[in-house]
Structures are given as C-alpha cells and as structure tokens.
Structure 1
Amino acid sequence: MADAMVERFVRDGFVKIEQAFPDRTARECASRLWAETGFDPDDPATWVKPVHRVGDMTAEPFVEAANTPVLHDVFDRLVGPGRWVPRRSLGTFPLRFPHEEEPDDAGWHIEASYSGDGVAWAHANVRSKDRALLMLFLFSEVGEADSPTRIRVGSHLDVPPILEPYGEDGVSIFDVAARVEAASAHRPLAYATGRPGDVYLCHPFLVHAAQPHHGHRPRFMAQPPLHPAVPHELERTDGAYSPVEIAIREGLR
C-alpha cells in the first residue's frame, strides 16, 4: 500500500488520507472556526459573504490535527525522514459559504512559497523553495456541491518546465499564472471531497482552484503548507530522491 500511495502521488500529484485525524478533533476545530467568523451556524442569513478567511490557528486541537502518527508517517514517505518541519499551528482557512455573490478567488493556480521583489509569499521556483507539500485539511463534510477544491490531476508535472528558466530566484506565481493554467488545461479533474478528518496531501506544484458554493453546507477547510527542514535537491549523488523531488524531475524530462 505504501508503494502504491507513492506511485499515485508521483503520477497524480496528490493522495487522500482518510480519517487522518479524529472526528472529535475536527468537531472541536470547526466549533472554534465558527467562533472566529462571528456567523451563526444555525442562521444562514448571517453568512454574509461567500468566503471568510481565518488566519493561523495555534490552539491545541489544530496542532493535534496536523501531527497525528498517520500524517507524520506519510510526510516521511513523501518528503523524506528528517526533511520536513512539524506544524505548530494550522492555517490559513478559506471558509466557503453558500452565497449569491460569486467568489473572486476561483482561478487556476499553484501556491506561492516564499517572498521576492518586495512581494510577500508570491514566488515559487523549480526546487519548490520553502514548501514541501500543499495540504488540504477537511473540517466539515464536503460533497461535490459544497465548493470542494478543484484539482487538475497530474498537473504538477506541467509546472517544472515553466519555472525552470527562472532559476533559484524563481518568479511570482501571478506572472506565470496564465501559462500554468494553459499548460494544465488538458488534465482531468478531481474534487477534494470527503469527511471531517480527511486530508489531501498535494505536490507543491499541483494546479488547483476554488469554485462557487452551490450547496447548503458551509465548507470548512485549512490549506497550510508543510515546510521543508532542508532544501529540495534535484541532483543527488546518492540518488535518495523523495517523491516530491522525483515528480519535479519527471516534469523536467
């Protein structure tokens, strides 16, 4: 199963870990997130905008959700033992609500991982500086009508050739957004649906997008990075490449 999971990750750019953290933890986190919104869970009239963003959450339930033995084991398999930093918080949270207003953040993109040229958190480079994984933590039931994150399956392989010419300095993800979208347009779609406690672990270069919420249940999710403890390497003399690195190398072939 471990080998199959790694193969899926390298091929598709993500794996879904079902019940990666306990349901009781998901419920406690959701309750704290509701409190942050100021909305009434039982009164949709108070859900006054399509997206409400909550910043980093450092309370114990969020730290517990990010540090289960199951997740630590998979981090070791995908990034490499000793090559990632445990999370001491969880965020950010783009909480999405059924609303007549369309969200303004539903474009296809990859995540930025570091700052450059005076712009905070807007750059990426071909070695995925400062980001080991993109992670999607579900704190609510998410069906296809509940604004699940859209994923272009295998799109992480389309991104390395776009980033490579920019070298170690990298480039703003906004400057290459149109090229990333066009290069991955042929990829099949998947949706980050699931139950509270499910986690999607995604390659840093996976092309994904939000979407309008056409359901009835608010979607509570966190999308934090997993930070690397050491830089990714694309040329290792010992050949001990992580699956994250293997996928980047595959994309550059």
Structure 2
Amino acid sequence: MARQLQVLSAEDAQHFIEKGYVRVKGCVDPALAKAWTDEAYTRLGYDPNDRSTWTKEIVWLDRHNTGDIKDISPKGWAALCDVTGGPERIESKVMEIESTHFTTIDSTEWSDAFVMNLNRGADKPWQPPSPEAGGWHKDGSFFRHFLDSREQALLTVVYWSDVAHKGGGTFIAPDSIKVVARYLAEHPEGVDDGDSFSELINECQEFEEITGETGDYIILHPFMLHTSSRNHSGKVRFMTNPPVVLKEPMNLNRDDPEEFSLIERATLHALGVERYDFQPTAPREERWQVIG
C-alpha cells in the first residue's frame, strides 16, 4: 500500500508531481530564525543597521549552528519524508571525497550555512525570471548525472527571512523538469555537470519567482533549473539549501506502483510514462563514503 502522507495534502502531492515543487509553511520557529540570523551579522562583523559595514553584496556562510531536522522542524522533516518515500530512503550522513578536501553532507540536519543576499544587483535594473536572467543551472557539480541519480535527490530552500517580490527570491522553471528528464533519458551514459543543463533553459516556457515568509520550506524536484535573482527590496534575504541524498538511486520501475516516491512519480510524469526501466550504460563514479 502507498505510504500515507504526514504533512502534505493530496493536492500538495499532485502539485509536486505536476509542477515539481511544493511549499510547506511554518517550518522554522521565528525565535530560532532571529537568533541564527542575528548571529550571522556578528559572525561577519556587519552591523544590520549600518550598511556601510556590509563589504559584500552576497555571502555564503559556513555551518556554525546545526540541528536535526526532526528536532528543529518536525513539520519540515515529515514533509521531506512525504516526498522521498520515508526516512528509510534518506541517507543520513556521507562524506564527499574531493581531490583536496572532504565535505560532510548530512541529509537529516539543518544549519545556519546561510546564503545572505544583502543587496546583490541592487545597482542594476530589475530582471524578471526568464532565460535572459542568466545563471540557470541544475545542482550537483560533484557527480555524473543520471536519470535516477541519488546524490542530489532534491533541491530544497528554507527561508529564514521574509522574501518579497524583487527581494532576491530564487527563480525556477517548472517545465524544466520535463526537459531535463528527457535529456537524461536520452543519455544513459550520464552527463557531467557543465553547460549542457544551462542551455536547456532555452527550451522552457514557465518561469516563477519564489517569494515567501520566514519558515517557508520549498521542496523542489532535483531536475528543476533555477537561478538567483537581484535583491531590490532593501532587506537582507536569508536562505539555506539543505542537501538531500538518497540511500539508493531512484527506482522508476517498481513492482508495486504504490511504492513510488513523489520524486519518482514526478520523474515518470515528466517522461509521460507509468514506469521506466532505466539502466545506466557507464559507471556512476560516485565519490561517497557513508559515515553515519
């Protein structure tokens, strides 16, 4: 039998399948958001009330505070499990092995590794979401991409501040999931990260600006092409992109169709089929070591 949804409604699930994303509101305690974002200014040596101290337009912070999602945000954890098919399908902790360093990725934690858009692009005209906005990409520079890849199982966004129109919200192209899925199906040998995915934005017709409120958790299909936007709001945008890794590659040909996860259902919907027997024709070249 299909797993019963904990947080998402049937309408939410269908929206994810058809549009490739779902928004879950109220996933961060406002007090925690304030404590962590206030501390971020201190870590940078910026005065939130004195813009002359802001030496950069956008900053990527390292993790300082961390916590289990199920403790920080039980609602967010339940939503994540709804989309992935359950906690048993989520890899807890892995070490990404690079040539010069190691990076630990934990799918079960959230942190204050903020992307702070202070005023990036404020000195330039507003650019609405379109191919001309530039910078469109598919996440995952550290692995060869296959139709069923597990390394970048989801693209997720947590807003730790309110994000209004023209406030630096992420731009997305919902119909890119269909374009990317079919492209990957045509390349069972895999695709290295690069310009190939970026160029696919020219085949897309749907574009959205993801605005939101503090505590919004937006869960997006991993094939969603996206890009950053300019911040004309006069307010700092705080967001994180917590990684999600699956224990196994997606299974698009399950014996029991009720066992398909929402990620798998959305992928099959993008391909226009009920099931798909994907077989990679080249090594996955995974650089992972499970450490937890």
TM-score, normalization: structure 2? 0.74
Aligned partner letter, 1:77: D
Aligned equivalent of 1:59:
65
Shift of 1:180: 2.1
Query: Which blocks of at least 5 consecutive residues in structure 1 are unaligned?
Result: 116-122
Going from structure 1 to structure 2, the CA distance change for 1:50 and 1:58 (only over 3 Å counts) comes to closer
Tell me if structure 2 keeps the 8 A contact 1:11–1:154: no
Shift of 1:30: 0.9
Name the Cα RMSD after superposition.
2.3
CA deviation profile, 1:25-69 (whole Å, cap 9, x unmatched):
1112212322333221111112222211112x2524x54588522
Matches within 5 A, 1:48-197: 48-55=55-62, 57=63, 59-60=65-66, 62-64=67-69, 67-81=72-86, 82-84=88-90, 85=92, 86-90=107-111, 92-99=113-120, 107-112=135-140, 114-115=142-143, 123-167=144-188, 170-184=190-204, 186-187=205-206, 189-197=207-215
Tell me if structure 1 keeps the 8 A contact 2:151–2:246: yes
Look up the SS of the partner of 1:147 in the other structure: coil
Shift of 1:113: 6.3
Aligned equivalent of 2:39:
32
Shift of 1:148: 0.7
Q: Is the radius of gyration larger for structure 1 or structure 2? A: 2
Look up the SS of the partner of 1:158 in the other structure: helix
Aligned partner letter, 2:222: P
Tell me if structure 1 keeps the 8 A contact 2:162–2:237: yes
Shift of 1:233: 1.1
Q: Once structures 1 and 2 are overlaid, which stretch shifts more, 9-18 or 83-92?
A: 83-92
Going from structure 1 to structure 2, the CA distance change for 1:155 and 1:67 (only over 3 Å counts) comes to farther
* Cα distance in 2, alignment partners of residues 38 and 166 from structure 1: 47
Look up the SS of the partner of 1:11 in the other structure: helix
Look up the SS of the partner of 1:182 in the other structure: helix
Shift of 1:88: 2.9
Alignment length, in residue pairs? Answer: 239
Going from structure 1 to structure 2, the CA distance change for 1:91 and 1:207 (only over 3 Å counts) comes to farther
Aligned partner letter, 2:135: G
Is 1:216 aligned to 2:234, yes or no? Answer: yes
- Percent identity of paired positions between Structure 1 and Structure 2: 23
Aligned equivalent of 2:223:
205
Look up the SS of the partner of 2:59 in the other structure: strand
Going from structure 1 to structure 2, the CA distance change for 1:5 and 1:91 (only over 3 Å counts) comes to same
Tell me if structure 2 keeps the 8 A contact 1:25–1:65: no
Tell me if structure 2 keeps the 8 A contact 1:58–1:89: no
Shift of 1:92: 4.7
Going from structure 1 to structure 2, the CA distance change for 1:89 and 1:75 (only over 3 Å counts) comes to closer
Tell me if structure 2 keeps the 8 A contact 1:67–1:87: no
